[in-house]
Copies of this chain bind each other. A is one copy, B any other.
Amino acid sequence: MTDLTFEVKVTDGLARTGRLTTAHGHLDTPAFMPVGTAATVKAMTPDAVAGTGAQCILANTYHLMLRPGPERIDRLGGLHTFMNWPGPILTDSGGYQVWSLADLRKMDEDGVEFKSHLDGSVHRLSPERAIEIQTLFGADITMVLDECTALDAEKDEVARSMQLSMRWAERCKAAFPDRKGHGLFGIVQGGLHDDLRAQSAESLINTGFDGYAIGGLSVGEGQDAMFQVLDGLTPRLPEDRPRYLMGVGKPADLVGGVMRGIDMFDCVLPTRSGRTSQAFTRHGQLNFRNARHKDDAQPLDADCGCPVCTQYSRAYLHHLVMAKEILGAMLLTWHNLHYYQDLMAAMRKAIADGTLNAFAAGFEAGQNQEAGSGEPATGAI
């Protein structure tokens, strides 16, 4: 398929830089995509999101199909116009939230029926409807509908579920309307079982997708188990197609994922943390509810050039958090997204320079420092 163009540029071990080109512009990979669940990256204007360096955002089909509804978004000009984001948009299929948020009514070979967590209204998702909805949104990158299994499911249950997801993936591919610059990604399932992951990857590759996502991770299995799955899986995925690790993760997860050949990530962590007084720095995390920031005239992260770190003190951020001011959530989210984008840019540079291993060592040393210890940055971000 040539709906999305993906060019691998430089490799460094398993890691690689690349460029994915969509109908609404390109993403330089490895890329982190901020989450705009309900057609807004929470507490951020689109201009500010773009200013952090983010090139592609994710929006959630489950939330948007319930409110304001895909047909309405289509009538209003599609998701890009609706939310004023001119760049690429990736939408998930809605499956994950159906399993985690909705009241599940009925699930069979055809699809899933569920009750909205908002108003109890009954909705239906099938592979075909998931594609139709994302097409109404005008998504640049569309995800197949998959079933999600619990982390503690027995292996035969994980296998059955993965096989259903593979049949659904085929139906998604058949239903997906080819348009230049728009692509469909398959999702590898199979839990923590290397053989099931391998079968899933093989099935998807046979069907053929514009990109390959890895689902069902970062659900409590721990970083070691996640990295073990990636170690077994990424070498099986096509080198000339983007690899997307869904819902991941912490900064250290991104570094480890990139080193294992992942090209794309998304996670609510930087935005959610910003709304719960947490900030990421080159020297670990800070909690702005902590009274030790009360008189601290230092910037959040002295090595960060973002609009928050160059204009505000820790004391002011602490004050905003304690006073429950909206600006507190705005500024911490802004910084966190900047931090994530700076981290990705630094990894792209390290890969281009062939120094990713050294970068990763410096990154880890920085994270093990006391945040705010005043020591110079060792990470090369």
Contact = CB atoms under 8 A, between A and B. Distances in A.
Interface string A42-72: 1111000000000000000001000110001
Contacts of A110: none
Contact of A325 (B38, B320, B323): B38
A76 B295 CA distance: 7
A17 to B, nearest CB: 32
Contact of A40 (B39, B275, B313, B327): B327
A323 B67 contact: yes
Contacts of A313: 76, 82
A82 B315 CA distance: 8
Contacts of A83: 316
Given A76-B315, A82-B313, A329 B330 contact: no
Contacts of A45: 327, 330-331
A244 to B, nearest CB: 26
A84 interface: yes
A322 interface: yes
B325 A40 contact: yes
Contact of A39 (B44, B319, B329): B319
Interface in A209-244: none
A13 interface: no
A319 B84 contact: no
Given A297-B77, A311-B84, A319 B43 contact: no
Given A84-B311, A297-B76, A330 B319 contact: no
A152 to B, nearest CB: 33
Given A67-B322, A295-B75, A84 B312 contact: yes
Contacts of A331: 45
A69 to B, nearest CB: 9
Contacts of A75: 295
A252 interface: no
B326 A43 contact: yes
A208 B356 CA distance: 69
Interface in A279-333: 294-295, 297, 311-313, 315-316, 319-320, 322-323, 325-327, 329-331
A67 B320 CA distance: 10
A83 to B, nearest CB: 7
A327 B42 contact: yes
A377 B224 CA distance: 63
A345 B295 CA distance: 39
B38 A323 contact: yes
A288 to B, nearest CB: 13
A72 B330 contact: no
A42 B325 contact: yes
A196 to B, nearest CB: 37
A58 to B, nearest CB: 16
Interface of A: 38-40, 42-45, 63, 67-68, 72, 75-77, 82-84, 275, 294-295, 297, 311-313, 315-316, 319-320, 322-323, 325-327, 329-331
5 contacts: A67-B319, A72-B315, A84-B311, A326-B326, A326-B330
